Structure 1
Amino acid sequence: ALGYDIDMALRNVDTHDLLFTVTSEGHLYVKDDIPGSYYW
């Protein structure tokens, strides 16, 4: 549940300032509003 733990931690900060975000499903992705962003 590492992805979940990271997601919960991110809920406590302004995610708009982060380059990477981890969803509750554990998927790490680059913020959409950054040019050339992508998911994996």
Structure 2
Amino acid sequence: MLISEYAASIRFFCLLAILYLIFAHPLEDLWEEDEEDAQED
């Protein structure tokens, strides 16, 4: 049981890591654009 639960946790963590790698940079770019717009106003 412990081994299977540990493996499931690893898979979940890997999924989160992949999602982060996919979305992190586009989100950072959007945040930077929002900050620039706020400074212009």
Q: What TM-score results when the alignment is normalised by the length of structure 2?
A: 0.30
Q: What TM-score results when the alignment is normalised by the length of structure 1?
A: 0.31
User: Between Structure 1 and Structure 2, which shows a larger proportion of helix residues?
Assistant: 2
Q: Quick check: which has more Rg, 1 or 2? A: 2
Q: Bigger relative contact order, structure 1 or 2, given CA contacts below 8 A and separation 6+?
A: 1
